[in-house]
């Protein structure tokens, strides 16, 4: 079934202007499709629907570099598979997202602790920045000095997972 443009916009909580900016389709064209003055072919609606599916969304709408925010559960769900691949023992969310003051331009800041304290991985940053549409900043817990601002942020952060908890959550995700 082909969804009309206004329904696609509604599904992703987009205004006509935002859809225009996201897709480079002129605003006047989107307006004329929606008001019925120009007929839109079904394949265009399908193409737009497929294009929008590349972006994550939640109850607040679409998440792009400049629109929307992730929920903590979405961050956890994206991060969990990396826990096994990179042998991460603990992940703590800090910054705007941890303090529930995130906005569409907020970075996702995570402190990680590896199972092997000698392990250092720079590839995880690149991998996570490909998995999220927001900028991700990763900090190694072993590098954080006591009595610094970062140390205080870590103490107040949101624990995304720790130890066996990560593996239990992954097993639960797979079973659904």
In a domain, 36, yes or no: yes
Give the three-class secondary structure for 108: strand
pLDDT at 98 (0 to 100): 96
Residue linked to tokens 């925010």: 69
Strands (E) in the chain, as ranges, are 57-58, 61-62, 88-94, 108-114, 136-140, 158-162
Least confident of 3-7, 10-14, 101-105: 3-7
Residue 27 lies in a domain: yes
Distances in whole angstroms, Cα of residue 100 to Cα of each of 73, 95, 103, 139, 155: 13, 9, 9, 20, 16
Q: Indicate the pLDDT class of residue 137, thresholds 50, 70 and 90.
A: very high
CA distance 18 to 67: 9
Nearest to 141 by CA among 93, 97, 101: 93
**Is 84 found in the same domain as 34?**
no
Total domains present in the chain:
2
Same-domain status, 81 and 148: yes
Give a yes or no: residue 50 inside a domain: yes
Q: Is residue 60 part of a domain?
A: no
Which domain does 49 fall in, by range? 5-54
Element (H, E) at 172: helix 164-175
pTM above 0.85, yes or no: no
The verdict on 28 and 108 lying in the same domain is no
């Amino acid at each position: 079934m082909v969804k009309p443009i206004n329904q696609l916009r509604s599904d992703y909580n987009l205004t006509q202007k935002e859809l225009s900016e996201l897709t480079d389709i002129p605003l006047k064209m989107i307006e004329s499709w929606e008001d019925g003055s120009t007929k839109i072919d079904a394949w265009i609606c399908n193409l737009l629907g497929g294009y929008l599916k590349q972006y994550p969304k939640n109850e607040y709408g679409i998440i792009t570099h400049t629109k929307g925010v992730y929920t903590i559960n979405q961050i956890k769900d994206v991060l969990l598979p990396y826990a096994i691949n990179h042998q991460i023992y603990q992940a703590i969310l800090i910054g705007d997202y941890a303090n529930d003051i995130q906005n569409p331009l907020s970075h996702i800041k995570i402190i990680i602790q590896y199972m092997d304290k000698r392990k250092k991985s720079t590839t995880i940053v690149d991998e996570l920045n490909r998995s999220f549409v927001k900028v991700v900043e990763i900090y190694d817990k072993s590098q954080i000095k006591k009595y610094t601002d970062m140390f205080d942020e870590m103490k107040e952060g949101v624990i995304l997972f720790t130890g066996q908890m990560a593996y239990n959550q992954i097993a639960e995700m797979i079973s659904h």
